[in-house]
Amino acid sequence: MHPHPLSELLFVEERVIFTKSKYPGFRVYAERVKVYGGEEYRLFDPYKSKLSSALHKGLLHFPFSQGSAVLYLGAASGTTASHISDIVRTVFCIEFSERSMTDLLFVCEKRRNMVPILADASAPESYAHLINTCDVLYQDIAQPNQTEILEKNMVFLREGGYFFFCIKSRSIDVTAEPRLIFEREVFKLRKNHKIIQVISLEPFEIDHAMVVGRK
């Protein structure tokens, strides 16, 4: 077990990535756990998390640190958010689905640095009073206007902060070529932000790309 080249808070063993659990003894999604040096490490599965997929596909920047505050749009049941919470200070978890929120609440009860917020990410004014300025904005939402939702929430990201945007092409247009959709949505973002990297997430996620940029 040794630190990942991008971060001392990620760990690698035989090309498999782990996060060191802040809350040992509690599994979020029946993930494989390894004990090493008296510490518990959770497998960061690229087939379960798009952030892990991006790491396996050559992500160049990993700006998550022990002091970071992260705004996570579309936290679902908390799989990726829980791995991020192993690394950072606070994760504000926005989720619209009441069914997913039920699972997320169970995770947040155990992981006290995850803050669950039942809200519509397309209406950030509804939760503005609950969110501090964040260092990283992470979005994973299956909506046709997912790029516009990201832009609305940029108000919470500090200047120079990073954003991670999972583009789900089939949620935008099921008939169009995914590559063309990725190019179009990235073009929109380039008008106001610096785009650092665009990563295809295949074979882990079909018709998905991760866009990394800075405000």
- Note the pLDDT of residue 178: 87
Beta bridge partners of 194: 214
- Note the pLDDT of residue 174: 87
Could you tell me whether strands 7-13 and 16-20 are parallel, antiparallel, or unpaired per DSSP bridges?
A: antiparallel
Tens digit of pLDDT for each residue in 96-107?
999 999 999 999
Q: What are phi and psi of 134, to 5 degrees?
A: -110, 155
Domain boundaries, the chain: 47-214
- Note the pLDDT of residue 68: 97
- Residue 41's nearest CA partner among 15, 63, 67, 13 is 13
Q: Which residues have a Cβ under 8 Å from the Cβ of 180 and sit 6 or more positions away?
A: none
pLDDT < 70: residue spans in the chain: none
Residues in the chain: 215
- Note the pLDDT of residue 124: 97
Q: Left (φ > 0), alpha (ψ -120 to 50) or beta: where does 101 sit?
A: alpha
Tens digit of pLDDT for each residue in 26-50?
999 999 999 999 999 999 999 999 9
Q: Is residue 154 within 8 Å of residue 147, measured between CB atoms? A: no
Q: Which CATH number fits domain 47-214: 3.40.50.2300, 3.40.50.150, 3.30.465.10, 3.40.50.300?
A: 3.40.50.150
203: cis peptide before it, omega within 30°?
Answer: yes
State how far the alpha carbon of 152 is from the alpha carbons of 6, 163, 179, in Å.
29, 13, 24
| Other CB atoms within 10 A of residue 14 CB | 5
- Note the pLDDT of residue 69: 98
